[in-house]
Amino acid sequence: MSEKGEREIVRGLRDVAAAETSISYVDPKGSLYYLGYNIDDLVGNIIYAEVAYLLIHKKLPNQRELDTFNAELISEMKLPEAVIESIRATPKRCHPMDVLRTEVSRLGEYDLDANDRSKEADLKRATRIIAQVPTIVATLHRSRMDEPTPSPREDFSFAKNFLYMFKGTPPSNEETDVLHRLLILHADHGFNASTFAARVTASTNSDMYSAVTSAIGTLRGPLHGGASEKVMDMLDDIGQEEHVEEYVQGLLDNRKKVMGFGHRVYLAEDPRTKHLRGMVEKLCHRKRTMDLYRKCIKIEGIVHERKGIYPNLDFYAAVTMDALGVPKEFFTPFFTTSRVSGWVAHTMEQYEDAVLLRPSSKYVGTFGSTFVPIDKR
């Protein structure tokens, strides 16, 4: 409150700490930690299931725990028949994020333990949701191709199964490695908008499906996870490498945002970018699409020179997913398949905090309006 008793607003809640968390730390100077582990030490050294386990169990698994968790995830990938039918019935004009949002909500209808809100039941539920979200994404993609979705294989890791089910053929070792890295980098990121949305829903003591559904709707927006699809639109629009300068200058001169750039927290480069940039360079080299890589580097240079900002996660993630053969409308669903592990971890942490997240507002409307009955208006 100000001295006059007026509420001060913090526009966009910039720098407001809304709760404590021990799940991840976004260091503005350019580092990211999951449960105290610098992501630079995790990427390339562990698989995605280990990170999902780390986030929800708050410790890294040993080999036995990882094997059990991976098997549990694979067995939980199966969707209720009604959800499969519903996915297949969605009109092709619907964005995959619309379908994902609705079907995650529908999964809640088939949770036989819905009334058990114990920690153990929540942990089981969290594992099941982490497992089922990729199956929804894969089933939707396959059904839009008029192709069946293969069943997961017990000899594949959970992440490899996702790509297998999405593409319909077993992924190569290189593709699997890229996917593990991509999913690890997307798994959690402090109080980003979608995680905050999940926590607000959880703070009312609502169920985990509702929290994840809120988060999906929030991630979808182009200022958040929806940016990666827009990045690909931009790269497609630019066309040849020689058009980059004119295109990007045009955006900046018209005070338009360059998608995949800027960040609310980082003052330095997003620590995830270097991992993705390196992968994109290798993938483009292998696929002989180095012109695409050069286009990205050129955009990065111009935006940094003119605005002093850096690419965020979505910029190179878009090109990485494109190289994996993911259609651009499935970029944000891919992001969701990993971030869901962060959302469920934060949902459980919020249940423990047991406080309603309910800010106030500064009223700027009028008082003293005279009521007029409808027939006199």
Interface residues with ligand ACO (CB under 6 A) are 12, 223-225, 227, 257-264, 307, 309, 312-314
- Residue 191 DSSP SS3: strand
Of the residues 111, 188, 207, 314, which is catalytic? Answer: 314
Q: What is the largest CA-CA distance in the chain?
A: 75
Nearer to ligand ACO, 49 or 219 (CB): 219
Whole-number minimum distance, CB 267 to ligand ACO, in Å?
A: 11
Nearer to ligand ACO, 265 or 292 (CB): 265
Q: How far apart are the first and last CA of the chain?
A: 38
Whole-number minimum distance, CB 277 to ligand ACO, in Å?
A: 15
Nearer to ligand ACO, 264 or 298 (CB): 264
User: What residues contact 34, with CB distance under 8 A and at least 6 apart?
Assistant: 23, 24, 42, 51, 54, 55, 187, 188
Whole-number minimum distance, CB 271 to ligand ACO, in Å?
A: 13
Nearer to ligand ACO, 314 or 349 (CB): 314
Place of tokens 């969701």: 336
Residue nearest to ligand ACO (CB): 262
- Residue 355 DSSP SS3: coil
Whole-number minimum distance, CB 107 to ligand ACO, in Å?
A: 24
- 368 Rama sector, left if φ>0, alpha if ψ -120 to 50, beta otherwise: left
Whole-number minimum distance, CB 213 to ligand ACO, in Å?
A: 18
Q: Is 243 assigned a catalytic role?
A: no
Burial class (CB in 10 A: 0-12, 13-18, 19+), 315: buried
Nearer to ligand ACO, 280 or 313 (CB): 313
Q: Among 308, 303, 297, which residue's Cα sits nearest to residue 274? A: 297
Of the residues 141, 186, 263, 346, which is catalytic? Answer: 263
Q: Is 180 assigned a catalytic role?
A: no
> What DSSP string describes 300-342?
HHHHHHHH---B-HHHHHHHHHHHTT--GGGHHHHHHHHHHHH
Supply the residues annotated as catalytic: 263, 314
